[in-house]
Structure 1
Amino acid sequence: MNASQRFEDPVLLVRRRGDLVGEWDRSCHLAPLPDGTLSTLLTLCGERIEVGAVELLPQPDGMPCVACLLSVPPQRG
Structure 2
Amino acid sequence: MNASQRSEDPVLLVRKRGGFAGERERSCHLVPLPDGTSTALLTLCGERIDLGTAELLPAPEGMPCVACLLASPPSGG
Q: Same fold (TM over 0.5)?
A: yes
Length-normalised TM-score, structure 2: 0.93
Identity across aligned pairs (percent)? 73
Partner of 2:74: 74
Partner of 1:36: 36
**Greater than 4 Å deviation, 4+ residue runs:** none
Task: Please report how far the alpha carbon of residue 5 of structure 1 lies from its aligned counterpart in structure 2 after TM superposition.
Answer: 2.0
Partner of 2:8: 8
Task: Compute the RMSD of aligned alpha carbons.
Answer: 1.0
Structure ranking higher on relative contact order (CA contacts 8 Å, 6+ apart): 2
Which SS does the other structure have where 1:30 is aligned?
A: strand
Length-normalised TM-score, structure 1: 0.93
Corresponding residue pairs, total: 77
Partner of 1:19: 19
